[in-house]
Amino acid sequence: MSAEASPQMPRAETGRRRRGAWAVLAVLAGLVAGLLLTEGLTRLFFPAFDPSGRFEFTFPVGPLVLGQPGADARQIKNTGDYDVSVHINSHGLRDANDVATARSDDILVVGDSFTWGWGVEAQHRFSDQLQILSGRRTFNLSTPTDIDGYAALLAYAKTLGSRAGRVVIAVCMENDLHLYGRTRQGEPPPGDTAPALKEWLSSHSALFLLAVTAVQQTPWLRDIAVKAGLIVPNLEGIAKNEYDPAFIEASANRLQAIAERYRTLVVLIPSRALWVGNSRAVEDRVHTAFMVALQRRGIDVLDLQPLLEAQGAPLSYHFANDGHWNARGHALAARAISQHLAR
């Protein structure tokens, strides 16, 4: 017996259900069409929010993810902190110099997003300013990564033909200390902490970027989003260290392995948790213990903490709504490194 003829489902009831289903489909189709139209209009009238023009790390090189070779894009913060141009060279690096030509008198600067120049124009980065101050060609080998990644970046430079023997490694004390040499289960890749959906929308939707920017730059909307847990205030999202000698020793050992192959200066980028939050004493203990561990291994170390604190406002060297250094922070680091290398 067919469903239409069933006593439990008379023809009238079947018809109503079908009409209801078609109505739901029509509403959904209308919503999708409306969103697509709004997305198109946003890209047309507000091209600055078109995600296709925004920078992303998409070029895999071994364990690293670099910029797409030849890319010209922009890096924009939806809070308005920065809007900068990004050019990537043929090797996937943000550098006007070709590391393949680096020789023994040149300097390789290696690091994560700080050193890459997150939020600042390339000429304002401490690596570019170091080249001017020192008079020595300086090459920037950076991408969001950790100490293992720094070793991989140096190895990559060698495969390209680099013969530089002087290396400056900038260690970010907020997230670079790990149990290197052991498998770290359940941890996201370095720099990859955004939820998958948000990441996808940021990469594909101009409408999403426009909406987020409107919320971030409208105080009352931002307050609502913070209370709802949709936005984590900058200084509340700082990664915190725990004092664990195993982390300190493993990280120092990894840097020692690099220093055995290159004449190395390790520059410590202090954690902002030294100055805000309720774990300052722990962060200070970790920072000091790590510096001592490096010195005990005979590694040359430059600690930027005293210099950043000298004027009494260390956070003024960072963006207001982003953990990275602004141009002032890079300028301070460049002067300090240049003076240290000149000794």
Phi first, then psi: what are they for 302, rounded to 5°?
A: -120, 115
3-state secondary structure the chain: CCCCCCCCCCHHHHHHHHHHHHHHHHHHHHHHHHHHHHHHHHHHHCHHHCHHHECCEEEEECCEEEECCCCEEEEECCCCCCEEEEECCCCCCCCCCCHHHCCCCCEEEEECHHHHCCCCCHHHCHHHHHHHHHCCCEEEEECCCCHHHHHHHHHHHHHHCCCCCEEEEEEECCCCCCCCCCCCCCCCCCCCCCCHHHHHHHHHCHHHHHHHHHHHCCHHHHHHHHHCCCCCCHHHCCCCCCCCHHHHHHHHHHHHHHHCCCEEEEEEECCHHHCCCCCHHHHHHHHHHHHHHHHHCCCEEEECHHHHHCCCCHHHHECCCCCCECHHHHHHHHHHHHHHHCC
- Chain position carrying tokens 């913070």: 226
CB atoms within 10 A of CB 170: 25
Contact partners, residue 219, CB within 8 Å, separation at least 6: none
Distance of CA 249 to the CA centre of its chain: 25
Q: Which residues pair with 60 in a beta bridge?
A: 65
pLDDT of the chain along its 343 residues, tens only? 444 445 555 666 777 777 777 878 888 888 777 777 775 765 666 666 665 668 899 999 999 999 999 999 999 998 899 999 999 999 999 999 999 999 999 999 999 999 999 999 999 999 999 999 999 999 999 999 999 999 999 999 999 999 998 999 999 999 999 999 875 444 444 444 445 777 776 667 656 656 666 666 777 765 675 566 666 766 677 888 999 999 999 999 999 999 999 999 999 999 999 999 999 999 999 999 999 999 999 999 999 999 999 999 999 999 999 999 999 999 999 999 999 999 8
- 120 phi-psi bin (left φ>0, alpha ψ -120 to 50, beta other): beta
Phi first, then psi: what are they for 28, rounded to 5°?
A: -60, -45
What distances in angstroms separate CA 57 from CA 20, 29, 40, 299, one per listed residue? 46, 34, 25, 31
pLDDT in tens, 155-179: 999 999 999 989 999 999 999 999 9
Kindly compute the dihedral angle of the four CA atoms of residues 156, 157, 160, 163, in this order, to the nearest 10 degrees.
-140
Which residue type, as a one-letter code, is found at position 96? A
pLDDT in tens, 237-264: 788 899 999 999 999 999 999 999 999 9
Assess contact for 96 and 85: CB atoms under 8 A. Answer: no
In the structure encoding, which two tokens stand for residue 56, read together?
Answer: 């992303």
Phi first, then psi: what are they for 160, rounded to 5°?
A: -80, -15
- Alpha-carbon distance of 136 to 107, in angstroms, equals 7
Nearest-Å Rg of the Cα atoms of the chain is 25
- Alpha-carbon distance of 29 to 291, in angstroms, equals 60
Assess contact for 37 and 47: CB atoms under 8 A. Answer: no
